[in-house]
């Protein structure tokens, strides 16, 4: 079976990616603007690939980064290092979206521009980081990115 933290992670990823009809459309716009799009997850590569395929997003993402590559869970900085190392970029060049407040905090404290996807008007947990941007859905992201 899948352990509880893995199950939660996948449910969260599912919540971010799947039932919302704006997602493919927004990701396509970002792709057309030549942004690199990746998933950074505690999930296993096979489950993540399955999720991406089943949502017809397999031609959208440039990379799926799984913690299996580094053998440690988020919010460990080794996980957040993966895209930085691969793309040879600065931490502040990453827009990091999550529906999880602990992950938004982890990414933000690491140095990413963390964005909280708050679809249900939740209260941000009292953590040591507050996101610079909170959006209700992915469409809200578009006015906030620099157009190329």
Averaged over 124-145, what is the pLDDT? 91
Residue 99's alpha-carbon distances to 23, 89, 124, in angstroms, are 14, 24, 10
Mean per-residue pLDDT of the chain:
88
- 76 is written with which tokens? 């460990």
Q: Which residue has the higher pLDDT, 3 or 142?
A: 142
List, for residues 55-112, the tens digit of each pLDDT value. Answer: 888 899 999 999 999 999 888 999 999 999 999 999 999 999 999 999 999 999 999 9
d(CA 18, CA 37): 16
Confidence band (pLDDT; 50, 70, 90) for 146? low
Which of 13-22, 46-55, 60-69 comes out lowest in average pLDDT?
Answer: 13-22
Confidence band (pLDDT; 50, 70, 90) for 35? very high
Cα separation of the two ends of the chain: 45
Question: What pLDDT score was predicted for residue 17?
Answer: 60
Q: Which residue has the higher pLDDT, 80 or 14?
A: 80
Closest to 67 in 3D by CA, of 27, 126, 17, 13? 13
Question: What pLDDT score was predicted for residue 102?
Answer: 92
Question: What pLDDT score was predicted for residue 16?
Answer: 62
């Amino acid at each position: 079976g899948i352990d509880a933290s893995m199950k939660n992670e996948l449910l969260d990823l599912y919540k971010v990616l799947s039932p919302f009809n704006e997602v493919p459309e927004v990701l396509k716009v970002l792709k057309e603007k030549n942004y690199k799009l990746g998933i950074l997850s505690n999930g296993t590569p096979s489950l993540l690939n399955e999720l991406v395929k089943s949502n017809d997003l397999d031609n959208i993402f440039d990379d799926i980064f799984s913690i299996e590559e580094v053998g440690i869970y988020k919010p460990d900085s080794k996980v957040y290092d993966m895209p930085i190392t691969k793309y040879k970029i600065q931490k502040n060049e990453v827009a990091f979206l999550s529906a999880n407040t602990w992950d938004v905090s982890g990414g933000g404290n690491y140095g990413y521009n963390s964005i909280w996807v708050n679809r249900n008007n939740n209260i941000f947990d009292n953590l040591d980081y507050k996101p610079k941007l909170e959006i209700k859905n992915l469409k809200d992201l578009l006015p906030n990115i620099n157009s190329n």
